[in-house]
Structure 1
Amino acid sequence: MINIIYRLISPKFFEEAIDDIELDGVVVRPTYLSICQADQRYYQGSRPPEVLSQKLPMALIHEAVGEVVHDSKNIFSHGDSVVMIPNTPGGEDCYKANYSTSSKFRGSGYDGFTSDLVNLSHDRLVKIPEDFDLKVSSFIELMSVAYQGIMKFMEFKKASCEVLGVWGDGNLGYITSLLLKEIFPDCEVIVFGKHSENLNLFSFVDNVYMIHNVPEDLRVDHGFECVGSAASQSAINQIIDLINPQGTINLFGVSEYPIPINTRMLLEKGLTVQGNSRSEREDFEGVVDLLNENPQLFSYLSKLITNVCEIKSIDDLKSAFDKDHISNFGKTILKWEI
Structure 2
Amino acid sequence: MEMINIVYRLQRPKFFEEAIDEIELEGVVVRPTHLSICQADQRYYQGSRPAEILDKKLPMALIHEGIGEVVFDDSGEFKAGDKVVMIPNTPCGDDVCRANYSYNSKFRGSGFDGFTSDLICLPQDRVVKIPDEFNLNVSAFIELISVAYQGISKFSEIAITPKDCLGVWGDGNLGFITALLLKELFPDSKVIVFGKHQDNLELFSFADETYRIHDVKGIAIDHAFECVGSSASQTAIDQIIDLINPQGTINLFGVSEYPIPINTRMVLEKGLAIQGNSRSEREDFIGVVETLKGNPQLFEYLEKLITNICEITSLDDLKEAFDRDYISKFGKTILKWNK
TM range (shorter): over 0.9
Residue 109 (structure 2) aligns with: 107
1:2-13 to 2 correspondences below 5 Å: 2-13=4-15
Matched AA of 2:239? Q
1:71-129 residue CA offsets vs partner (Å, 9 max, x unmatched): 11111010000000000001101010000000000000110000000000000000000
Residue 252 (structure 2) aligns with: 251
1:185-239 residue CA offsets vs partner (Å, 9 max, x unmatched): 0000000000000000000010000000002x21000000000000000000100
5+ long unaligned stretches in structure 2? none
Aligned counterparts of 1:199 and 1:127: Cα–Cα separation in 2:
33
Matched AA of 2:54? L
Runs of at least 4 residues off by over 2 Å? none
Cα drift, residue 321 of structure 1: 0.1
Identity %: 73
1:70-81 to 2 correspondences below 5 Å: 70-81=72-83
Matched AA of 2:226? E
1:199 to 185, 198, 201: 201
SS in 1 for 2:155: helix
Residue 334 (structure 2) aligns with: 333
Cα drift, residue 328 of structure 1: 2.2
Within the alignment, does 1:210 sit opposite 2:212 as a pair?
yes
Residue 28 (structure 1) aligns with: 30
Aligned counterparts of 1:199 and 1:174: Cα–Cα separation in 2:
9
SS in 1 for 2:149: helix
Aligned counterparts of 2:288 and 2:26: Cα–Cα separation in 1:
28
Residue 170 (structure 1) aligns with: 172
Within the alignment, does 1:138 sit opposite 2:136 as a pair?
no
Residue 271 (structure 1) aligns with: 272
Within the alignment, does 1:117 sit opposite 2:119 as a pair?
yes
Residue 309 (structure 2) aligns with: 308
Aligned counterparts of 2:158 and 2:7: Cα–Cα separation in 1:
42
SS in 1 for 2:177: helix
Q: Matched residue pairs, number? A: 337
Matched AA of 2:191? V
1:46-88 residue CA offsets vs partner (Å, 9 max, x unmatched): 0000000111000000000000001111110100000000000
Residue 87 (structure 1) aligns with: 89
Within the alignment, does 1:262 sit opposite 2:263 as a pair?
yes
Aligned counterparts of 1:263 and 1:94: Cα–Cα separation in 2:
29
Cα drift, residue 24 of structure 1: 1.2
Matched AA of 1:249? I
Aligned counterparts of 1:54 and 1:298: Cα–Cα separation in 2:
38
SS in 1 for 2:104: coil
Cα drift, residue 2 of structure 1: 0.2
5+ long unaligned stretches in structure 1? none
SS in 2 for 1:131: coil
SS in 1 for 2:206: coil
Aligned counterparts of 1:125 and 1:93: Cα–Cα separation in 2:
21
Aligned counterparts of 2:124 and 2:90: Cα–Cα separation in 1:
11
1:31-50 to 2 correspondences below 5 Å: 31-50=33-52
Within the alignment, does 1:155 sit opposite 2:168 as a pair?
no
Cα drift, residue 160 of structure 1: 1.1
Residue 58 (structure 1) aligns with: 60
| TM-score of the superposed pair, with normalisation by structure 2 | 0.99
Aligned counterparts of 1:261 and 1:194: Cα–Cα separation in 2:
20
| TM-score of the superposed pair, with normalisation by structure 1 | 0.99
Residue 240 (structure 1) aligns with: 241
Aligned counterparts of 2:57 and 2:135: Cα–Cα separation in 1:
32
SS in 2 for 1:169: coil
1:230-282 residue CA offsets vs partner (Å, 9 max, x unmatched): 00000001000000000000000000000011111111000000000000000
Matched AA of 1:86? P
Matched AA of 2:258? Y
Aligned counterparts of 2:329 and 2:176: Cα–Cα separation in 1:
14
Matched AA of 1:159? T
